[in-house]
């Protein structure tokens, strides 16, 4: 699938080197089709890394996608240059009158704070409410999933005894649902978090359907409103070396982190990690785009009163 991005987006060159079809604005403007419009609210600190990971994940269906990067106006990113943010990201206020086929809300490094103490929580609540009327399907990732479940369903996260970091085995709960179509019975996926949404509370809420879980990592994937809201508790978009970078970062900060589980061969951080989750990650994003965005969205977003 061609991904339309701005001509000078830095990660565009990396995607092209990986033979991912990236279409610039000029070429996209000369195609007589309506691409899918997907917004990305990127709350991760290293925004260019997340841009690359998400764009790579969206590149595996034959549908053209027009991606809009969205930023908070109530928060200033400290780990990505201001010039990059203001050049490539739209403030929410400038897109709130638009409609999107799909929308992605990423994780954020604030999971150990109460939601109400996050400096952009009020704005995020506004955005999550806005998605219910202006987006066909919204995909929430990691902390974004915890935030969405708390805001929409009132189920709060709880602290884990220690950080959950590694690559874990998961089982598919109901393969009749298109979101997990093509998944193996057992699949691997990365997690990196200090908190969780208790599985027993999700199980008890009839509004939420659990699609995949893990004995070690708990719920991985669930959805509501027939897929208009999808929640992914892990990080299927992570690169091979992302957990390694987090581990070495925490080591450098003197935090004495535990090794990510099921990640380094022989539990030796000098060994190159095995990439064991990419195919299912691609499948997840492809199924989301195909079954919950493309096949559910109207051709004319603005000609339909409710997306």
Annotated active-site positions, please?
142, 235, 237
Cα 241-247-253 angle, rounded to 5 deg: 135
Structure letter (DSSP) for residue 257? P
A 10 A CB-CB count for 281 gives 24
CA distances in angstroms from 49 to 42, 43, 213, listed in the order given: 10, 12, 27
Which burial class, exposed, middle or buried, applies to 98 when counting CB atoms under 10 A from its CB (0-12, 13-18, 19+)? middle
CB atoms within 10 A of CB 97: 8
Phi then psi for residue 236, to 5 deg, are -60, -20
Are 4 and 65 a contacting pair, CB within 8 Å? yes
């Amino acid at each position: 699938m061609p991904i339309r991005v701005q001509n000078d987006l830095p990660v565009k060159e990396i995607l092209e080197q990986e033979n991912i079809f990236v279409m610039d604005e000029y070429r996209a403007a000369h195609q007589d089709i309506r691409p899918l419009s997907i917004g990305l609210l990127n709350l991760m600190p290293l925004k260019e890394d997340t841009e690359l990971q998400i764009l790579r994940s969206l590149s595996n269906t034959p549908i053209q996608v027009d991606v809009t990067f969205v930023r908070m106006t109530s928060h200033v990113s400290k780990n990505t240059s201001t010039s990059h943010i203001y050049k490539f990201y739209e403030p929410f206020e400038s897109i709130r009158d638009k409609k999107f086929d799909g929308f992605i809300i990423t994780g954020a490094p604030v999971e150990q704070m109460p939601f109400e103490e996050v400096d952009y929580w009020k704005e995020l609540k506004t955005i999550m409410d806005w998605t219910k009327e202006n987006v066909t399907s919204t995909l929430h990732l990691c902390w974004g999933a915890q935030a969405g479940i708390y805001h929409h369903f009132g189920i709060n996260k709880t602290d884990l005894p220690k950080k959950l970091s590694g690559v874990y085995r998961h089982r598919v709960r109901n393969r009749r649902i298109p979101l997990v179509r093509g998944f193996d019975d057992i699949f691997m996926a990365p997690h990196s978090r200090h908190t969780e949404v208790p599985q027993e509370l999700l199980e008890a809420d009839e509004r939420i359907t659990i699609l995949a879980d893990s004995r070690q990592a708990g719920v991985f994937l669930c959805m509501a409103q027939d897929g208009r809201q999808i929640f992914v508790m892990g990080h299927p978009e992570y690169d091979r070396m992302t957990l390694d970078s987090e581990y070495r970062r925490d080591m450098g900060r003197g935090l004495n982190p535990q090794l990510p589980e099921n990640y380094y061969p022989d539990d030796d951080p000098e060994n190159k990690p095995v990439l064991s989750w990419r195919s299912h990650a691609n499948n997840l994003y492809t199924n989301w785009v195909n079954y919950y965005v493309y096949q559910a969205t109207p051709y004319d977003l603005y000609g339909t009163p409710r997306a």
